[in-house]
């Protein structure tokens, strides 16, 4: 039955109660994938005094991730120490000194308390990665995926039951340093103690957790992706230009970004992976016309116009 929730209730006191079970044991974090999301997660964890190892497939990718972090930290530093350039540099250097870079995933997880995966949105690639990591990570480590759309239970499918009990979703939002929310996704197999520890850790890094079940899109993307895809279809039907649709949603609905700015920001390849996956075999979403392929989106991805990260998408950057 629906029960009203007081608007004045503090955010974290609503809904199921969150135990603040020990997260003291989470201090060493390994983030796999140093792209937009992984570098942001590494940055936030290092800012909150964690020792972080960031892993990617090549030194070039790691250098890119490091550059994302440095750029974002400089922004934060400029606000924190407005008139003091030396203090700004010290702030950035101090946080960056807690981040190590690695191209060897097994070595990088061997001492981790928490492993967060933020690699390409592909089920097979994620499953293979975790099968490899589970051979090297400490048995007590919490393993987590930052997937936007894939079932957490399926990503953990190749792991043994002990690992599955310590496997959850930790879904951050882009840009990670700025967006407050982290969805903590609970699978059927996950231990409550692991969920509680993750919730406590999310709070400890200054974010707000929302716990939810392992269903396609969790909370935010289940609502956001239909909106983005409907905007693309408005454009395909030539109802209005991308600029006018963006202006309409910013000024008419109060969104910080229009849907095309947001698509470019998230990455058009990621959006395509999400909708194609759901349309093909998303639990309860298979065949749903909301997620049918879009000629416009397919064309842009084929041309390598992936959005802000590639310099071109719906817009040029």
Residue 133 contacts ligand NAD per CB under 6 A: no
Nearest to 101 by CA among 57, 40, 50, 36: 57
Question: For residue 220, which phi and psi values (nearest 5 degrees)?
Answer: -65, -50
Taking residues 194 to 233 in sequence order and writing x for each that binds ligand CAA by CB under 6 A, - otherwise, the string is ---------------------------x--x---------
Q: Which is nearer to ligand NAD, 73 or 101 (CB)?
A: 101
Taking residues 264 to 283 in sequence order and writing x for each that binds ligand NAD by CB under 6 A, - otherwise, the string is --xx--x-------------
Number of residues that bind ligand CAA (CB under 6 A): 17
Distance separating alpha carbons of residues 97 and 113, to the nearest angstrom: 19
- Annotated catalytic residue: which of 117, 121, 183, 261? 183
Among 18, 51, 70, 76, binds ligand CAA (CB under 6 A): 76
Part in contact with ligand CAA (CB under 6 A); list of ranges 19-27, 134-142, 168-176, 232-240: 168-176
Q: Is residue 161 annotated as a catalytic residue, yes or no? A: no
Taking residues 8 to 47 in sequence order and writing x for each that binds ligand CAA by CB under 6 A, - otherwise, the string is ----------------------------------------
Q: Which residue is nearest to ligand NAD (CB)?
A: 35
Query: 116, 146 in Cβ contact below 8 A?
Result: yes
Which structure tokens are listed for 75? 């922004």
**Nearest distance, CB of residue 4 and ligand CAA, angstroms:** 28
Q: Is residue 183 annotated as a catalytic residue, yes or no? A: yes
Among 52, 112, 266, 285, binds ligand CAA (CB under 6 A): 266
Residue 125 contacts ligand NAD per CB under 6 A: yes
Reduce the secondary structure of the chain to three states and give it as a string. CCCCCCCCCCHHHCCCCCCCCCCCCCCEEEEECCCHHHHHHHHHHHHCCCEEEEECCCHHHHHHHHHHHHHHHHHHHHHHCCCCHHHHHHHHHHHHCCEEEECCHHHHHCCCCEEEECCCCCHHHHHHHHHHHCCCCCCCCEEEECCCCCCHHHHCCCCCHHHHHCEEEEEECCCCCCCCEEEEEECCCCCHHHHHHHHHHHHHCCCEEEEEECCCCCCHHHHHHHHHHHHHHHHHCCCCCHHHHHHHHHHHHCCCCCHHHHHHHHCHHHHHHHHHHHHHHCCCCCCCHHHCCCHHHHHHHHCCCCEHHHCECCCEC
Q: Which is nearer to ligand NAD, 55 or 232 (CB)?
A: 55
Q: Which is nearer to ligand CAA, 106 or 174 (CB)?
A: 174
Question: For residue 73, which phi and psi values (nearest 5 degrees)?
Answer: -65, -35
Q: Which is nearer to ligand CAA, 105 or 259 (CB)?
A: 259
5 binds, among ligand CAA, ligand NAD, none (CB under 5 to 8 A by kind): none
**Nearest distance, CB of residue 267 and ligand CAA, angstroms:** 8
Residue 212's Cβ-side half-sphere holds a number of Cα atoms within 13 Å equal to 18
Among 146, 165, 197, 294, binds ligand NAD (CB under 6 A): 146
**Nearest distance, CB of residue 174 and ligand NAD, angstroms:** 3
Q: Is residue 299 annotated as a catalytic residue, yes or no? A: no
Taking residues 14 to 33 in sequence order and writing x for each that binds ligand NAD by CB under 6 A, - otherwise, the string is ------------------xx
Catalytically active residues, by annotation = 148, 171, 183, 221
Residue numbers of the site for ligand NAD (CB under 6 A)?
A: 32-38, 55-57, 61, 118-121, 125, 129, 146-148, 172-174, 266-267, 270, 309
């Amino acid at each position: 039955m629906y029960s009203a929730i007081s608007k004045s209730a503090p955010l974290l006191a609503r809904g199921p109660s969150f135990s603040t079970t020990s997260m003291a044991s989470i201090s060493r974090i390994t983030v796999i994938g140093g792209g937009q999301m992984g570098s942001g997660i590494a940055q936030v964890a290092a800012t909150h005094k964690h020792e972080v190892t960031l892993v990617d497939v090549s030194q070039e990718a790691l250098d890119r991730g490091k550059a994302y972090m440095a750029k974002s930290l400089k922004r934060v530093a400029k606000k924190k120490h407005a008139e003091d350039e030396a203090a700004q540099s010290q702030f950035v250097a101090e946080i960056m000194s807690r981040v190590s870079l690695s191209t060897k995933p097994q070595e990088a997880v061997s001492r981790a308390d928490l492993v967060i995966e933020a690699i390409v949105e592909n089920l097979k690639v994620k499953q293979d990665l975790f099968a490899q990591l589970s051979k090297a990570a400490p048995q007590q480590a919490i393993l987590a995926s930052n997937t936007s759309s894939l079932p957490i239970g399926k990503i953990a499918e190749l792991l043994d039951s002990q690992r599955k009990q310590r496997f959850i979703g930790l879904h951050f939002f882009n840009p990670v340093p700025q967006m407050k929310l982290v969805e903590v996704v609970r699978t059927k197999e996950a231990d409550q103690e692991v969920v509680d520890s993750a919730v406590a850790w999310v709070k400890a890094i200054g974010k707000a957790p929302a716990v939810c079940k392992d269903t396609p899109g969790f909370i935010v993307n289940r609502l956001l992706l239909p909106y983005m895809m409907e905007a693309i279809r408005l454009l395909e039907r030539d109802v209005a230009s991308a600029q006018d649709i963006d202006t309409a949603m910013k000024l008419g609905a109060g969104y910080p970004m229009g849907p095309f700015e947001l698509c470019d920001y998230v990455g058009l390849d990621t959006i395509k992976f999400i909708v194609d996956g759901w349309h093909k075999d998303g639990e309860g979403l298979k065949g749903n016309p909301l997620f049918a392929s879009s000629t416009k989106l397919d064309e842009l991805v084929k041309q390598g116009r992936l959005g802000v990260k590639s310099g071109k998408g719906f817009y040029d950057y």
